[in-house]
Amino acid sequence: MSKTAENLNRVDGGGHVPMKMPDPVFRDDRHHIRIYQGDCLDILAAMPADCVDLIFADPPYFLSNNGITCHAGKMVSVNKGEWDRSRGADANHEFNRAWLAACQRVLKPNGTIWVSGTSHVIHSVGFAMQQLEFKLLNDISWVKPNPPPNLSCRYFTHATEMIIWAAKNKKSRHKFNYALMRQTNGGKQMKSVWQIPPPETWEQRFGKHPAQKPVALIERIILAASDEGDLVLDPFLGSGTSAVLGFRTSRRVLGIDSDEEWAMLAVRRICADLVQAILRVTIVQIALDLWSRSMDRSDRANGATMSGSGPSKLVSRECTFYFVGAIRRDVVFTVAAEDMTEAWQKFRASPATSNEILFVIRTETEIFLVT
């Protein structure tokens, strides 16, 4: 029996067998953020039942079939990785049913799940939801204003993705922030057709995931179906957009991804938001008294000035490391050092070593003399 089938039996009708939760690759208890790297079936099986308020899932679309598409005017491969390769319709559906059953178990009685996909996967997802007796609420059409052109000219241009919104079961009384969605939509009822651009450049500054979803899309989903303090789960975290939006909207976050590269991309994005949230920017003004109070020593007659356009000479370089506490969210230790190893040695030898550290921020200052 395959691992997928074993997990399916474990969480779908065969009785739940408790497992030990692995250590997260990132954990921030103050903001209730945990990121795990590993098989989502294993990690979901280790979670308690009925604990999650909202799930956003962007599972493999099984599109990596050696085809081509158009990106930025160039012909590129559609292959995203081994995780996106189809194993055949039956195996793909078995996988979808397994992870959906695992998600259903951890959803609270009134919790909901949102699953995105193209025609390659979404019909299997919908059928699996019916088999598991989810309560189907809406199918959202996400319209992309500028989709890539169809190179073969044998099909209509693919300009949409589907998102299925479903509650845990037929008895669920799901949460829907109707008033907020109406307000967001200019005072009118929001329809199930959403026109939202794909991720912008600034959303990918820490790295690009081939299936990255735009911030605006995930933000709308989280705001529509959860409240502050709710737990948001993403079993296929990817670039971490759901985790970033969960943090920004004061939700608790649990993210899972099987790939180390993508898990660390998500961590980088979360850390960038956390650093901006907890650090205060300090402006240091340095006064250089270069001119005598009693005499003007400048050669003004010859028009000599420091223009900044001439050659320059590096006269000073300093690396400074700022240690930010995990409990006390400010800089608990600052030190100048040549590298991170030396900075940690100095930290451990200081009175501040009793603090648990969340971030270390390195800055480099260079002073040039313009000649």
Domain containing residue 268: CATH number: 3.40.50.150
Q: What pLDDT band is residue 198 in, cutting at 50, 70 and 90?
A: confident
Same domain, 194 and 335: no
Strand residues in 326-356 grouped as ranges (E): 331-336
Which DSSP state fits 248?
H
Angle at 149 between CA 147 and CA 150, to 5 degrees: 120
pLDDT at 324: 86
Domain identity same for 56 and 125: yes
Please compute the mean of the pLDDT values over residues 199-206 and round it to a whole number.
80
Residue 332 belongs to domain spanning: 309-370
- Amino acid present at 191: K
Mean pLDDT of the chain: 82
Instruction: Choose the weakest-confidence range: 34-38, 271-275, 299-303.
Output: 299-303
Nearest to 343 by CA among 359, 365, 326, 328: 359
Would you say residue 290 lies in a domain?
A: no
Q: How far apart are CA 108 and CA 225, in angstroms?
A: 13
Please name the residues in contact with 10: beta carbons below 8 A apart, sequence gap of 6 or more. 16, 17, 45
pLDDT of residue 103: 98
Closest alpha carbon to 246 in 269, 275, 222: 222
Query: Do residues 272 and 313 both lie within one domain?
Result: no
Q: What is the mean pLDDT of residues 43-48?
A: 96
Structural domain ending residue among the three candidates 277, 294, 328: 277
Element at 366 (helix H, strand E): strand 357-370
Q: What proportion of the chain, given as a percentage, has pLDDT over 90?
A: 49
Residue 350 lies in a domain: yes
Per-residue pLDDT, 297: 38
Unique residue bearing structure tokens 């497992």: 19
**pLDDT, tens digit, for every residue of 245-261?**
999 999 999 999 998 88
CA distance readout (Å), 206 to 64, 119, 233, 246, 268? 24, 29, 22, 18, 7
Same domain membership, residue 219 and residue 141? yes
Distance CA 273, CA 245 (A): 10
Domain count for the chain, please give it.
Answer: 2
Q: Distance (Å, rounded) from C-alpha 294 to C-alpha 229?
A: 65
d(CA 52, CA 50): 6
Cα 43 to Cα 49: distance, rounded to the nearest angstrom: 12
Which 8-state DSSP code applies to residue 359?
Answer: E
* Contact predicate 339/319, CB 8 Å: yes
> Is position 332 within any domain?
yes
Question: CB–CB of 159/143 below 8 Å?
Answer: yes
Radius of gyration for the alpha carbons in the chain, expressed in angstroms and rounded: 26
Mean pLDDT computed over 153-167: 92
Task: Indicate if the alpha-carbon torsion angle 265, 270, 273, 274 is positive or negative.
Answer: negative
Q: Are residues 204 and 83 in the same domain?
A: yes
Whether 186 has a pLDDT exceeding 60, the answer reads yes
In a domain, 302, yes or no: no
For residues 318 and 273, membership in a common domain is answered with no
Of the three residues 277, 298, 326, the one that is the final residue of a domain is: 277
- On whether both 196 and 52 belong to a single domain, the answer is yes
pLDDT of residue 1: 35
- Do 187 and 327 belong to one domain? no
The answer on 201 and 114 residing in a single domain is: yes
Domain assignment present for 203 = yes
Asked if 164 and 243 sit in the same domain, the reply is yes
- pLDDT reported for residue 67: 56
For residues 233 and 362, membership in a common domain is answered with no
Tell me, yes or no, whether 236 and 315 share the same domain.
Answer: no
Q: Quick one: which of 120, 200, 132 has its CA closest to 162? A: 120
Q: Is 335 helix (H, G, I), strand (E, B) or coil?
A: strand
Paired tokens of 43: 């990690």
Nearest-angstrom CA–CA distance, 134 and 123: 14
Domain boundary among 225, 254, 277: 277
Does residue 244 lie in a domain region?
Answer: yes
Q: Which of 178, 148, 173 is nearest to 160 (CA)?
A: 148
CA distances for 241 relative to 72, 106, 233, 314, angstroms: 22, 21, 12, 41
- Flag whether pLDDT at 285 surpasses 80: no
- What pLDDT score does 256 carry? 97
CA-wise closest residue to 111 among 254, 304, 275: 254
pLDDT of 7 over the 60 cut = no
Tokens of 148: 């890539």
Please report whether residue 43 resides in a domain: yes
The SS3 assignment for 8 reads helix
Residue 362 located in a structural domain: yes
Q: What are phi and psi of 94, to 5 degrees?
A: -60, -45
Spatial distance between the Cα atoms of 77 and 68, rounded to a whole number of angstroms: 4
Q: Which residues pair with 117 in a beta bridge?
A: 162
